[in-house]
Amino acid sequence: MKILHTSDWHLGATFEGIGREEDHKFFLNWLIPFLKEQEIVVLIIAGDLFDQTQPSAEAQRIYYQFLLSVSQKTDVKKVIIVGGNHDSPTRLDAPAELLKLLDVFIVGGISVDGKDFSRYLCSLKNEQNAVELVVAAVPFIHEYRLGVRTSMHNESEIHSLFKEKIQNFYFDLADAAEQIAQDAPIIATGHMACRGSELDDAPQEIHMIGTMGGLPSAIFDSRYSYIALGHIHRAYRVDQSNAYYSGSPIPLSIKESNYPRYVQLISYEKGSKAKTVQKIEVPVLRKILEVKSNLEQIHSILLNISWQTPMPPILAISVQVNSYHSGLDLELKNILKNKFQDASPIIAYIRQIPAKSDNNVLASKEAFSLKELTPEQVFLKMCDTYNEIVDENLLQAFRSLLNEENI
């Protein structure tokens, strides 16, 4: 029995205004035959299916067309989808009853009655009607839903309370899953930041606990033979445990383009809980490349740029200058156009940044786009601009407001 774990598709995402629809279609066109060839029986998408809570019509079209293709062109028995922090729980849940006709099981968000565990449990049965697998489909859970109020505690207390609450949830859910599974393996999902993640492994922090490091693997009951995690955009195993991240299947940032993209393949021997886990590299349509140097070197880099992907890369260009260079954008675009014609790389942005100089105060300050900064980083920069002293109380108040706004 083979299960495929993927997450963080972020359908509808852009990079500096450049749509990524073609990148997503390229991935899904690879995924459909892979599901068929590998005889995958369960596909798990562990949150952040969409990039925004109100996805575009095109993003939704890609999503529904994919689910139809899975039903018509593969032997997948069940597609399990859980909501992430970027998803709208109600929007995901709305067509859930209809999508059951395509063997799609959806849990968009945590229910008001957190103890109604039947909502999260999906079982897979064989031809003899015996249970082969139980999946505890857990979506993103905001600490507020667990009764944790960030404005009432200090960071240490929040960390301890949230860890206790979410651990109890997973342990109680394992009890309910075990009653259905009997001797069959149990898999869980989750959308959170666990240990081993780095600050830029995900677009934003989603819990107050994120300010103190990720959650430990001990929150997951040992009865879960595999935990399919989402939110972190890099594929790795958490603390040598049964919890794994698959990462995002397309590079959504410059850093993500520096590393391969993966899905996780989980295989069980028939009638056994023993498993193997294999990272499968995903082909990408194009990369996002950062080009940063002085103008002369930028010219040389652009004239000699090459790629092995089906499409040319997206370029993020930062030019070090002593003074503002008018007409620079057109100059660099013409270099690429003359060199590559219709197969030219796309330029996401061209930024002029001060060259390093002892006499230049701006030299030590990087040019930032608001899209590159988290809300907290913007807040700190604003405080710095207005000479506002940021102490722990002010920072904690801001984080509380931010978290409660994103419930």
In terms of CATH, what superfamily is 2-282?
A: Metallo-dependent phosphatases (3.60.21.10)
Q: In the chain, what percentage of residues exceed pLDDT 70?
A: 85
What is the structure's pLDDT at 256? 94
What is the structure's pLDDT at 208? 47
User: What residues does each domain of the chain span?
Assistant: 2-282, 288-372
Q: 292 forms bridges with which residues in the sheet?
A: 318
More reliable by pLDDT, 406 or 339? 339
What is the structure's pLDDT at 272? 82
Mean pLDDT score of the chain:
87
In 3D space, the residue among 236, 267, 254 whose CA is nearest the CA of residue 318 turns out to be: 254
Q: In the chain, what percentage of residues exceed pLDDT 90?
A: 63
pTM of the full structure? 0.83
In 3D space, the residue among 186, 97, 178, 96 whose CA is nearest the CA of residue 137 turns out to be: 186
With contact defined as beta carbons under 8 Å apart, do 286 and 24 qualify? no
What's the pLDDT band for 215 if we cut at 50, 70, 90? Answer: confident
Distance CA 362, CA 116 (A): 57
Q: What is the mean pLDDT of residues 324-341?
A: 90
- Summarize pLDDT for 91-140 with one digit per residue, the tens: 999 999 999 999 999 999 987 666 788 999 999 998 888 999 999 999 99
- Summarize pLDDT for 236-285 with one digit per residue, the tens: 999 889 999 999 999 999 999 999 999 999 999 887 888 999 999 999 99
- Summarize pLDDT for 201-211 with one digit per residue, the tens: 666 555 544 44
